[in-house]
């Protein structure tokens, strides 16, 4: 059986506070053995990264600003999964 394991980093956990995804990482496995298919993107959340989030993942607002937005990578992500 094929599976995709997904990990994300965000600016926070509250949709109401407009928190966004800043990193998506996926790996495909077949019978729990990794295949060579991976997906990894750093994403511009188009908002400031709170200090609490920076302390967890280390991605600053300045670092993220030059990366694509989620809208720009969404089709590639959907194709992968």
The whole-angstrom separation of Cα 58 and Cα 51 is 9
Asked if 40 contacts 47 with a C-beta cutoff of 8 angstroms, the reply is no
pTM above 0.85, yes or no: yes
Give 14-52 pLDDT, tens digit per residue.
Answer: 989 999 999 999 999 999 999 999 999 999 999 999 999
The whole-angstrom separation of Cα 43 and Cα 22 is 5
Bridge partners (DSSP) of residue 9 are: 23
Give 64-77 pLDDT, tens digit per residue.
Answer: 999 999 999 999 99
Identify the pLDDT of residue 32. 96
Average pLDDT over residues 5-13: 97
Asked if 28 contacts 6 with a C-beta cutoff of 8 angstroms, the reply is no
């Amino acid at each position: 059986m094929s599976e995709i394991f997904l990990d994300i980093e965000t600016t926070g956990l509250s949709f109401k506070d407009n928190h966004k995804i800043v990193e998506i990482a996926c790996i495909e496995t077949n019978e729990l053995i990794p295949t060579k298919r991976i997906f990894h993107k750093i994403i511009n959340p188009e908002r400031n990264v709170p200090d609490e989030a920076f302390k967890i993942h280390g991605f600053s607002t300045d670092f993220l600003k030059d990366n694509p937005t989620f809208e720009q990578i969404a089709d590639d992500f959907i194709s992968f999964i």
